[in-house]
Chain A
Amino acid sequence: MRKLSIKLVRDIRAHGAQFASLVVLVALGVACFVGLNAAYKNLAVSYQHTYDTLHLADAQFILESAPADVVAEIATIPGVENAEGRTVIDTGMFLPNGDQIRARFIGVPAERHPTVNGVDIQSGRYFRADDGQAALLQSAFADYYKFESGTVLKVLIQGQEVAFTTVGVAASPEYLFLSPSEQEIIASPRNFGVLFVPQDILAELTGTEGTVNQIGVTVTAPEELAAVIQQAETILQPYGLSQTVLQENIPSVQALQLDLEGYREMAFTVPAMILVIAAMSVYIALSRIVQSQRVIVGLTKAIGYSSGSVVRYYLAFALAIGVLGCAIGILAGVFMGDGVTRIYADELGIPLVATRFYAGYVIGGVVLSLVFCALGGVWPARSAARMQPAQAMRLDPSIALVKGRVPLMERILGRFVRLPLSFRLAIRNIFRARRRSLASGLGVVFALILVLSIWSMFDSIDWMLKVQYDDIERWDISAVFDQPQTTDIAATAESWDGVSEAQAILQLPGQAEAGAATKDIFIVGMKPAEDSLHHLRLGKGQTITEVLGGSQVVIGPIVAENLGLKIGDSVHLETPWGSSDFTFSAESAEMLGGTTVYISLADAQAMIKSPAVNGLYLSVAPEQQNAVKTALYQAGAASVQIKQEARDDFRSIMGLIYVFMGVLLAFSLIMAAAILFNAMTVSVLERQREIATFRALGESRGRIAWAIVLENLILWALALVPGLLLGYATALELGAEFNSELFRFEIVIYPHSYVIVAGGVLLTMLLAAIPAIRRVNRLRLAEATKVLT
């Protein structure tokens, strides 16, 4: 083997700890790239595999009522693979503990699995012909309450309590995400359950025998869909066809797609951030190594090696980091991709999970690793090649060309306080070796950026919940009624023990139209003067009485953006019970449920031509909340939500995101440690001869260690402001990836978080300097004071 190659291997070993820390950085970046992208792909494939295997409808027709035999007519349309009709109702259901929640009942054939919108039995069994009033529970709902085969649930159907016995738990491709509607894309299984019951039993109980109110179709080829829909709509028009829902618009499919898209952005952004930092760390480390090997570089060229040899040597050093980093990263990434997929699938209850090996991402990981490392190594390699041999061998790299000036920082500080010599020396050490100090300082800045930007996610989620549940939703209990109520319901509720205030509202599903753009929305009509229980986050100086009433509508920023609306624009609101034109008067920055729009109660009632209300917000003393909840159900509420429970439910929905953020935070801490270790090691080892000279003069190990600590403290202080500022800017970029219709992410970093992150980085810095200080303490002074390297 050629001596330059042997030298390379031994140099890597000599700088083993630094090399390892850089390999860790690259490996993390590659692992994130391979793992996150593989998981994204796996999830997308798993979702589609589930949809295909369980025959999720390509189109679903929502009707008032149609005879069941029209399904056979639909099935004969050219291009239709399968057609299935069913009855679907939303109603109240009693849990075994007496609580009432909303439930959706979906009719399925008892004698066979449905040919469209099938189910996958997770436990128990499918129906038998003689089951009678049996039910299959949707898996998320069943898991939440730990219901299983044999559980009896009572349902309110047409005012009658009817008992259903659970025969099994099933996953449904329509409800991989528990999404009741386009307007309510996230629901908690605490308050909303989905049950599959025999179609004939459901029809009998609802008095709709021989009819269906939904027909789902699958097509033989995607290009047939448009024609199939056209023909089916023509056939179904007489039966009160209100909506045709394409597969991609099914609420659960939409919710999962939104989630996947956010995830895909992360799968690009996070690895990119890590690899950029890795490349810069390679550049810094290799620059310092080249500096420390100046004499050897000069000697190599003096002997007759070409500049090209020198470039190739140091580039090989950088690429060795890349090769090892990508090997480890790819292995870790493959496992990570698999692991993340399974955790996600488990959490969401995806019945059919497909994990694959994606050679493209592996190749991509290799290419990225080598490219970023080459980019980080090329400049130090070229700077080494450009050295004149005599100059390289003349200068001791540990003694920079001293300018002989007192640094500005020392002069400024010195005006206010008498600085001890150790402090002055520390400041001068920093400013006399600017490149080295810059390298160390950049290491601290990178560490601050990494840790703060990831930590900010936790603060921002906490802030989101605080704003939504403390500032916006000021009620303690909210209730929804299936049947229209009069506004007297509020006064009635206020007469109950513990209720200090009640506000009646009207909630309607609908669509907003502006020009050619449309958006499914949820409309809330509320009295402008009564916003104490639900507060709108309006612009500065705006009041609710100014922006509601007189056919004005308050819309969230994402819906406004989707519709291309500016303040003052006209927007048409359409509901199944009526429609009207409104003026976009203000934005309300809701954190959750960004598709809700607000109009005055009077405008809502005028739109549907009815004085009815169908919802309540209540302020209730904590000890009376359960009693009030019962009273509301007895008053006819279909669903009652206690705010604390809603907050807890949301936290558990966010569980996956917390886990994901936790893993990223762990990664960022490892990276910060690797970066700082590199920076601190370089900073100390380059000055071995100088430090040995101090020792030779009589300075103790303790005082030398203190001098190094002091320098690190000053460097940390100098890097703090840029690092925290850039960390905040990076957090803003990352936070933008999370914004969606599901929730709005405002990046907020609590003051104490800055302190925690800054303190944590400082502690890591000091710990990272320990190995280098220990090495310096073991110096043989007689040699170290003579040898140039």
Chain B
Amino acid sequence: MNNSAQIQLIGVSKVYPMGEITVEALHDMNLQVKPGEFLVLLGPSGSGKTTTLNLVGGLDRATSGQIIVEGTDISGYDEGQLTRYRRHEVGFIFQFFNLIPTLTARENVEFALELAERDGRAIHRRASDLMALVGLADRADHFPSQLSGGEQQRVSIARALAKQPPIMLCDEPTGNLDVDMGVHVLQTMRDLNRKEGTTFVLVTHNTAIAAMADRIVRLRDGTVAETKVNESPVSPTEISW
């Protein structure tokens, strides 16, 4: 175990059934993430990127191995411990935004805030601040069906940030956005990483995005194929695809 790592996967495997067959999504995976690191997980479809993120995020359970976050092995957590872990330790940004369609943009953010805060006014204030942070103050009372893809993704970022988690897990955050919007979203993430020290683990199959990472880990067939430190991470504004 590496005490300086914020996140460690040690010998992690994940097998799950899909219809009549079983799929080994991860095989004896070993991975470490340092505090404040901006890590990009690259790989083709089916390489285990999303599965890795789900395991670190406590959304799924490993078949075998250890997942150590902030020095604690979460792979043995019961349901209640996992709930608290998801509530306080990680924020998730999904490819398909996954906003609750019957809540407005601001209410989607408040939905996450209510887990930690009881004061309605404080919740409303913080949600409004977060909406402003992602540049959507004037769209806060719109429903997801009234927002563009980029706007929805920014709302989901604001929601993920609401709990001020030390770790942010991003699954193809720009997968459904155009280049300009995607760059804008990446810039927001980059700023948070640099200013707040939030650890980012970003999953993508887009190699261009990898240029902004501190470190790039390539996955293939459920295991780490290559790890490369990026000596000079570029600004998202310099990225194009």
Which of chain B's residues has its CB closest to A307's CB?
A: B79
A contact residues around B114 at 8 Å (CB): 2-4
Write the chain B residue with the least CB distance to A405.
B20
The CA-CA distance from A389 to B60 in the complex, in Å, is 7
Contact check: which of A3, A11, A305, A391 meets B60 at CB < 8 Å?
A391
Which of A10, A298, A299 has most chain B Cβ within 10 Å?
Answer: A299
State the CA gap A567–B87 with chains docked (Å).
77
* Docked complex Cα distance between A304 and B96 (Å): 19
- Among A7, A299, A388, point to the contact of B98 (Cβ < 8 A): A299
Query: Is there an interface contact between A388 and B61, defined as CB atoms closer than 8 Å?
Result: yes
Q: Are A401 and B61 in contact (CB under 8 A)?
A: no
Does A788 sit at the interface, judged by CB under 8 A? yes
Interface residues as binary, B189-201 with A (CB distance below 8 Å gives 1, 0 otherwise): 0000000000000
Q: Is the CB of B98 within 8 A of A3?
A: no
Q: With an 8 A cutoff between CB atoms, is A6 at the interface? A: yes
Asked whether B103 lies within 8 Å of A301 as measured between CB atoms, the reply is: no
* Interface pair A302/B19, CB less than 8 Å apart: no
CB < 8 Å neighbour of B86 from A7, A14, A303: A303
Whether B98 lies near A393 (C-beta < 8 A) is yes
**CB closest residue in chain B, given A11:** B102
Are A304 and B100 neighbours in the complex by a CB distance under 8 Å? no
Interchain CA distance A295-B61 in the complex, whole Å = 18
Contact of B103 among A3, A302, A305 (CB under 8 A): A3
A299 neighbours in B (Cβ, 8 Å) = 94, 98, 100
- Please determine whether A304 and B86 come into contact, CB atoms closer than 8 angstroms: yes
Q: B102's contact among A2, A10, A403, by CB below 8 Å, is which?
A: A10
Distance, CA A391 to CA B51, complexed state (A): 10
Q: Are B83 and A788 in contact (CB under 8 A)?
A: no
A404, CB-defined interface residue at 8 Å? yes
Chain B neighbourhood of A403, CB < 8 A: 19-20
A3 contacts which chain B residues (CB < 8 A)?
A: 103, 107, 110-111, 114
Given known contacts A10-B102, A304-B86, A388 and B112 CB-to-CB distance under 8 angstroms: no
User: B84 in the interface, Cβ–Cβ < 8 Å?
Assistant: yes
* Distance A305 CA – B58 CA, assembled complex (angstroms): 13
Tell me, rounded to whole Å, the shortest Cβ–Cβ distance linking A708 to chain B: 24
Decide: B96 and A302 in contact? CB cutoff 8 A: no
A306 to B88, CA, bound (A): 13
Q: What 1/0 flags go to B51-71 for Cβ under 8 Å of A?
A: 100100111110000000000
User: Which residues of B have CB within 8 Å of A129?
Assistant: none
- Which residues from A are CB-within-8-Å of B87? 303-305
Q: How large is the interface on B (under 10, 10 to 19, 20 to 34, 35 or more residues)?
A: 20 to 34
Q: Does B163 contact A (CB under 8 A)?
A: yes
Quick check: B107 and A6 within 8 Å, CB to CB?
yes
User: Would A305 and B20 count as touching, CB distance under 8 A?
Assistant: no
Q: Contact: A393 with B19, CB < 8 Å? A: no
Min C-beta distance of A629 to chain B, whole Å? 76
Q: Is the CB of B59 within 8 A of A393?
A: yes
Q: Is A789 part of the binding interface, using a Cβ–Cβ cutoff of 8 Å?
A: yes
A520 CA to B16 CA, complexed, in Å: 76
Q: Provide the bound-state CA to CA distance between A306 and B114, in Å.
A: 13
Question: Which residues of chain A (304-352) have a CB below 8 Å from chain B?
Answer: 304-307
- Contact digits for A4-43, partner B, Cβ 8 Å, 1 yes 0 no: 1011001101100000000000000000000000000000
Chain A residues within an 8 Å CB radius of B84: 304
Q: Identify the closest chain B residue to A13 (Cβ).
A: B102
The 8 Å CB contact of A404, one of B19, B79, B103, B112, is B19
User: Which one of B59, B96, B110 contacts A388 once the chains associate, using CB atoms below 8 Å?
Assistant: B59
Q: What residues of chain B lie closer than 8 Å to A270, measured between beta carbons? A: none
Point out the residue from B16, B20, B59, B88 that lies within 8 Å of A389, measured CB to CB.
B59
Contacts of B18 in A (CB 8 A): 401
Query: Is B215 at the interface (CB under 8 A from chain A)?
Result: no
Q: Does B115 have its Cβ within 8 Å of any Cβ on chain A?
A: yes
Residues of B near A401 (CB, < 8 A) are: 18-19
Q: Which 5 A-B pairs have the closest CB atoms?
A: A304-B87, A390-B60, A10-B102, A390-B59, A389-B59
Interface residues of B (CB under 8 A from A): 16, 18-20, 51, 54, 57-61, 79-80, 83-84, 86-88, 92, 94, 96, 98, 100-103, 107, 110-112, 114-115, 159, 163
Q: List 12 A-B contacts (CB under 8 A).
A: A7-B100, A296-B98, A301-B86, A303-B92, A305-B115, A388-B60, A389-B59, A390-B54, A403-B19, A403-B20, A404-B19, A787-B96
Query: Assuming A10-B102, A303-B115, A306-B80, what are 4 further A-B pairs, CB within 8 angstroms?
Result: A303-B159, A304-B84, A389-B86, A390-B59
